[in-house]
Amino acid sequence: MSVLQQKIEAALAQGRKALIPYLPCGFPDLDKFWEDVAELDAAGADVIEIGVPFTDPVADGPVIEQAAQECLQRGVTLKYLIDGLKERKGQFKAGIVLMGYVNPFMQYGLDKLADDATEAGVNGFIIPDLPYEEADMFKKAFAHHPLDLIPLVGLNTSPERMKLYADGASGFAYFVSVLGITGGQADLPPEILDKLRQARDAFDVPLALGFGISSKKQVTPFGDLIDAVVFGSALIRHIQADGTPTEFMARFK
């Protein structure tokens, strides 16, 4: 069982959903970012998802996109993030996942990425623009490293395609709750229950729900269909309004 799956299973054993907060690297500034990651960890995050800022973030809504653009202006790069994690390796209890797009990872070099990410204590990757048919190059690079390539499925994913993603899946599966980009929608689409049941049937690894999640009451109706909750835009807005990561994490407890 991978580190990420262990973290989620441990939360479930405590009778709760695993919490996976997301922050883009370098938000709200270079120093505060690392302080907020440490605070999220201390506040009970089971896995922390760190965004790799990119110029064309096709899955990100306006809140995350704007934050990422500001991070790019501060000079944040994938190397900066990995070097920062290397310096802090062993300081976080939470699992660490990097969320980014194919282009920056390819430019870094996939074999080097696998080596450096492992050295930095990274446990997995989420790559929204990586289709199943093109994932083999990442799987090959990660094959001899303790790195999970997290599959993304959603409302428009057929049961047959879910089974393709489920074959050999590790860590957890990420279910995208809406058709479109990230955001802070209060109401999740009614058809999500049936699709979550299909995903639950397809995957043997834990199932995380993300996109548009801002409160515990949104996910309560899904019961045992989900094992973890991912939140990003709402957390970013909370920090922009001078709130603390600890305050935000308390919403889900």
Which pLDDT score, from 0 to 100, does residue 179 have? 55
Q: How far apart are CA 72 and CA 77, in angstroms?
A: 7
Quick check: 74 pLDDT over 80? yes
Instruction: Compute the mean pLDDT over every residue in the chain, rounded to the nearest whole number.
Output: 91
Share of the chain above pLDDT 70, in %: 93
Given 36, 60, 148, 227, which residue is catalytic? Answer: 60
Task: Decide if 9 is catalytic.
Answer: no
Task: Decide if 60 is catalytic.
Answer: yes
pTM: 0.92
Which pLDDT score, from 0 to 100, does residue 184 have? 43
The yes/no answer on whether domain 3-151+224-250 falls in CATH 1.10.260.40 is no
End-to-end Cα distance, the chain: 26
Which pLDDT score, from 0 to 100, does residue 183 have? 44
pLDDT 10s digits, 147-167 = 999 999 999 999 999 999 999
pLDDT 10s digits, 180-215 = 444 444 456 678 999 999 999 999 999 999 988 888
Given 36, 41, 46, 49, which residue is catalytic? Answer: 49
> How many CB atoms lie under 10 A from the CB of residue 194?
10
pLDDT 10s digits, 49-67 = 999 987 775 555 677 778 8
Tell me the HSE value of 127 on the side-chain side, using a 13 A CA sphere.
Answer: 21
Q: How far apart are CA 162 and CA 144, in angstroms?
A: 25
The tokens describing 176, both together, are 């995208």
> How many CB atoms lie under 10 A from the CB of residue 146?
16
